[in-house]
Structure 1
Amino acid sequence: MSSERVTNGNGHSEFRYAMPTMDKLMKCVQQKSDDTGNKVTVVGCGQVGMAAVFSMLTQGVTNKIALVDVMEDKLKGEMMDLMHGSSFMRNAKIQASTDYAITAGSKICIVTAGVRQREGESRLDLVQRNTDVLKNIIPQLVKYSPDAIFVIASNPVDILTYVTWKIGGLSKHRVIGSGTNLDSARFRYLLSEKLGIAPTSCHGYIIGEHGDSSVPVWSGVNIAGVRLSDLNQKIGTAEDPEDWKQIHADVVKSAYEVIKLKGYTSWAIGLSLSQLARAILCNASSVHAVSTYLKGEHGIEDEVFLSLPCVLNHQGVSDVIRQPLTEAETAQLRQSAALMAKVQQGIKF
């Protein structure tokens, strides 16, 4: 059997044996390229990372994924399992390695890797341990994909988005935290359950921290443009006789409840990350509640990353929506920012 030297998609020369059957089947008229222009890297092949990968592949957000983790066997297993489903997807190309070289040329780098909180461990200790993890990850991603948009999902997500920005030396608009995109989705779902209307027809945002100090923007919640605060001026407050504020309390408890029942959260955050990736890759200019640089917004003076509704496109965050907030909502947001700034002061870079 004869052989010939050819150049592969990575620009490297290799010998390839001539295959008579293939020659009879098709005639090559130009060299094939693996560059789809929509490559997404996911760092961390745990439950969240794989839920994001599965969502992106099955929803047609991308068909080119690079998976990176420190667990080589699990990486290989996840890649094989997904590739066996290729016939059900859009010609997916999936790479998996412990070597960050496979991430080269990524349009988006999604980071889900991190350590879990230990029993009795303080929030600051967890932040420092995950900061140390990101010290190894971010420089490698920047090295191979210097123009990528970075989407951070590791927790505590707002602080680790700030950490990524500091470590990577990236422009602010190219570092995005998954933030309260999921909190807002939970909020809309619970509103829909109470109103008997589809979640997609319930409009409202949770802003601030992805966590206990998140801020529900009751003043902007609306159905078909009808603001609920115009119908019930006490909505979401302690004086509200209809107890709408319980919806936000349930949003805050949601993750704890899911973790208690199944051990982790995965599907909803995976779908959330897929939505953000689609907005960036499609240059959608759609609005999402994500963690972004907030200094100068709503009177915040600290360099913190918290969620506000943002316009996402090829550039990352192109605009931050300036919602009209009530005094109470503004005060809660500033309190959330102060909490983040206090934790950030103890981080060792």
Structure 2
Amino acid sequence: MYNNEFITDKVTIIGAGFVGATTAYALMNAGTTSEIALVDLNQKRLAGEVMDLNHGIAFVPPVKIKSGTYEDCKDSNIVIITAGAAQRPGETRLDLLKRNVGIFKSIVPEIVKYNKECVILVVTNPVDILTYVTLKISGLPPTQVIGSGTVLDSARFRYLLSEHCNVAPQNVHAYIIGEHGDSEVAAWSITNIAGISMEEYCLRCEKGCQDTNRGEIFENVKRSAYEIIEGKGATYYAVGLAVRRIVEAILRDENSILPISSCMNGYYGIEDVCLSLPTIVNHSGVEKVLELPLKDREIKELKSSAEVLKKAIQEIGF
């Protein structure tokens, strides 16, 4: 995908709701990109968000932020999709998924109409299924279509472990893999603190933790989004920062390892479904998905997570 004729750090965000606007704020605040275009059907909301963001430009590295159209995808390196329907009272998860698939059927063709070279980054939930839908609708190579996956879940995992073990989260190396959702898997066997395995660290720590502590930490990871939504209506700060981190890895050609969602091609025997595994991410999007030395139980749980996603994909006819 990447060539010398297509060097740009422009980012277009489809959807100017809480997540889209917060992502734009995170990108401008960190100086990640020099140009951001926001696209949304709600022109009044879009104008307000862009105006608010532009009023802060004096306090951040130089950046151009504009109300855009799909034509802005033409010269964008990354197109981020945060647009989607909100769940209605009494609506099932499947009904919501079907509505979001309908929305994506209108969004994705507009993106590829103007740009077949960009990386498309899906953030809208359920992110794994919509990443798969985007891949199929777009016809782009699997390396160019990714989802935010479990980057945020893994950050929550690292934070909760850091709080429990009283160390900085930057020194906790841990991944949540599989679905960004209820069937996600904690990869305990490769979790370490400063290179020390959790089993070894726990022995040295002398807090006397039991397996129940691990179970509680993992359950808290899975419950986090529900608790935040119950408290404030939506999650957007941390996910905005997670998306910024993915964008940085792409624009800076970092070869960073992030648990993004992408289409599996035989990893652990899993194929034709999008889910999260630690992945080398660079200017092309996916450079390589890593097969980790997981324990048999974790591989079994990962395969079960894949089956949950495949069933949902079949239910929507993809």
Structures share fold, TM-score greater than 0.5: yes
Q: 123-132 or 54-63, which moves further after superposition? A: 123-132
- Gap runs ≥5 in structure 1: 1-34, 234-238
Query: Is the counterpart of residue 170 in structure 1 residue 140 in structure 2?
Result: yes
Q: What is the aligned counterpart of 2:10 among 33, 39, 46? A: 39
Partner of 1:342: 311
Partner of 1:66: 37
- Contact 2:31–2:62 (Cα < 8 Å) also in 1: no
| Matches of 1:245 and 1:212, distance apart in 2 | 14
| Matches of 1:261 and 1:165, distance apart in 2 | 34
- Contact 1:103–1:145 (Cα < 8 Å) also in 2: yes
- Contact 2:150–2:179 (Cα < 8 Å) also in 1: yes
Q: What is the aligned counterpart of 1:75 among 26, 31, 46? A: 46
Q: TM-score, normalised by structure 1?
A: 0.85
Larger radius of gyration: 1
User: More helix per residue: 1 or 2?
Assistant: 2
Partner of 1:5: none
- Contact 2:193–2:201 (Cα < 8 Å) also in 1: no
| Matches of 2:166 and 2:253, distance apart in 1 | 33
Matched residue type, 1:108: I
Partner of 2:105: 135
Shift of 1:232: 6.0
Matched residue type, 2:253: N
Shift of 1:85: 1.6
Partner of 1:317: 286
Matched residue type, 2:9: N
Matched residue type, 1:221: T
Partner of 2:114: 144
- Give the number of equivalent residue pairs: 308
- Contact 1:110–1:153 (Cα < 8 Å) also in 2: yes
| Matches of 1:39 and 1:122, distance apart in 2 | 37
Q: TM-score, normalised by structure 2?
A: 0.93
- Contact 1:165–1:172 (Cα < 8 Å) also in 2: yes
Partner of 2:3: none
1:57-206 pair list within 5 angstroms? 57-97=28-68, 99-206=69-176
Shift of 1:102: 2.6
- Structure-2 change in CA distance of 1:316 and 1:36 (3 Å): closer
Shift of 1:36: 7.9
1:237-316 pair list within 5 angstroms? 240-241=210-211, 243-300=213-270, 302-316=271-285
- Structure-2 change in CA distance of 1:295 and 1:320 (3 Å): same
| Matches of 2:160 and 2:120, distance apart in 1 | 30
| Matches of 2:259 and 2:248, distance apart in 1 | 15
- Structure-2 change in CA distance of 1:36 and 1:81 (3 Å): farther
Query: RMSD of the alignment, in Å?
Result: 1.7
Shift of 1:37: 1.6
- Contact 1:96–1:102 (Cα < 8 Å) also in 2: no
Q: What is the aligned counterpart of 2:301 among 332, 335, 340? A: 332
Q: Secondary structure at the match of 1:295?
A: strand
Shift of 1:76: 1.1
Shift of 1:348: 4.0
- Contact 1:108–1:151 (Cα < 8 Å) also in 2: yes
Partner of 1:3: none
| Matches of 1:103 and 1:53, distance apart in 2 | 15
| Matches of 1:213 and 1:240, distance apart in 2 | 23
> What is the percentage of aligned positions where both structures have the same residue?
45
| Matches of 2:235 and 2:92, distance apart in 1 | 21
Shift of 1:242: 5.1
- Contact 1:174–1:317 (Cα < 8 Å) also in 2: yes
Q: 282-291 or 72-81, which moves further after superposition? A: 72-81
Q: 168-177 or 223-232, which moves further after superposition? A: 223-232
Matched residue type, 2:287: S
Shift of 1:120: 2.6
Greater relative contact order: 1 or 2 (C-alpha under 8 angstroms, separation 6 or more)? 2
| Matches of 1:181 and 1:79, distance apart in 2 | 27
Shift of 1:122: 2.3
| Matches of 2:221 and 2:263, distance apart in 1 | 24
- Gap runs ≥5 in structure 2: 1-5, 204-208
- Structure-2 change in CA distance of 1:241 and 1:67 (3 Å): closer
| Matches of 1:334 and 1:185, distance apart in 2 | 22
